[in-house]
Amino acid sequence: MKEVRPFDVLILGGGIAGMTAAIYLSRARVKTAILEKSICGGLCNYTYMVENFPSYISIHGMDLMQKVRDHVDHLGVSIEEVCMIQSMDISGTEKIIESDDAIYHGKALIVATGRKPIPLSLPECEQVHYCSICDGFPYAGKRVLVLGGGNSGFDESLYLMRIGISHLTLIEVADRFFAAKTVQDELLHNKNVEARTNTRVVDLILENKKLKEVVIENVVTGVSETIPVDGIFAFLGQKPETDFLKGIVNLDDDGYVLVGEDMSTNIPGVYSAGDLNRKRYRQLTTAMNDGTIAALTCERYISSDRC
């Protein structure tokens, strides 16, 4: 029989939004649990350098998230490893989440599951990756192709060049790059980097299941070209981790959660914080803002007679 674990507030997701909410709730003496399937910190763990976070000129993403985790641990927040949600009933006054090992009860719920990378829409290949810090090291001295001209694509490319990639080609399907100008300048000044706009991947050429070449195409002229590469790192954007909320919480057409200014959803006592919300900007600091507001609203909710 599974153990029933009661809390005041359950937080789904241990990224920066979830951990910020946990800090505020714990300091308000609200018994809080973070339910996390992996490691706290989310995608920021795989960011090579964070250089726009107040108080740190430059810090590795994982180091920054560990400092936030240390703060959460210091306050005694319970962090529960939940690999998979078996069932969820959050429509009533009591929020119930069942995992493989336990059943969690809460008076309120904050969803902070963030986003995940959009996969490459081509046949599966072992040499296609979505994290340079995780998978980049074996490509030192080799040729790689990076997909995506946003901040992620450029930041990850800088990391790849620092570990000794021999040649890097970065392509963006749009007619311009979207990364911060300082990051663009740093990467594009490297003589071993080639960057192209209006370009997409149309085919992968494998030999004995190993990537050998990639066919790329200029979307304006229609001219295609085959280039040798040993690996691909794709940063084509992200999509919200909200499939489990469909039919329960109001989402937009792209799967983002619709929230009010106080981070409330259409269900009383259920709040959403971070990059899974529909909004214009998604940064560490905006996720922290969401987590703060969700926690303050949530604390007021459970202190009232509504739950």
Q: Are 178 and 154 in contact (CB under 8 A)?
A: no
Q: Which helix (H) or strand (E) covers residue 209, if one does?
A: none
192 has a pLDDT exceeding 60: yes
Contacts of 66 (CB under 8 A, 6+ apart): 41
Domains and CATH numbers, the chain: 3-116+238-305 (3.50.50.60), 119-234 (3.50.50.60)
Q: How confident is the model at residue 48 (pLDDT cuts 50, 70, 90)?
A: confident
Residue 64 token pair: 């920054």
| Encoded tokens for 289 | 């803002």
pLDDT at 305 over 90: no
Backbone angle region of 250, left / alpha / beta, with phi > 0 → left and psi within -120 to 50 → alpha: beta
Residue 122: band (very low, low, confident or very high) from pLDDT cuts 50, 70, 90:
confident
For residue 306, name the pLDDT band (cuts at 50, 70, 90).
Answer: low
pLDDT (0 to 100) of residue 234? 96
Q: SS3 of 132, please?
A: helix
Query: Which pLDDT score, from 0 to 100, does residue 292 have?
Result: 99
Instruction: Choose the weakest-confidence range: 1-15, 17-31, 93-107, 118-132.
Output: 118-132
Angle formed at CA 45 by CA 52 and CA 151, multiple of 5 degrees: 45
DSSP state of 130: S
Structural contact between residues 85 and 99, judged by C-beta atoms closer than 8 angstroms: yes
pLDDT digits over 124-146, tens only? 899 999 999 999 999 999 999 99
Q: Is the pLDDT of residue 163 over 90?
A: yes
Length reported for the chain: 307
pLDDT at position 1 is 84
- Predicted pLDDT at 34: 99
Assign 230 to helix, strand or coil. coil
Q: Is the pLDDT at 58 greater than 90, yes or no?
A: yes
The shares of helix, strand and coil residues in the chain, as percent rounded to the nearest 5, are 25, 30, 40
Mean pLDDT for 274-282 is 96
Q: Mean pLDDT for the chain? A: 96
pLDDT of residue 307: 56
> Can you tell me the mean pLDDT for 70-95?
96
* Secondary structure string (H, E, C) spanning 200-253: EEEEEEEECCEEEEEEEEECCCCCEEEEECCEEEECCCEEECCHHHCCCCCECC
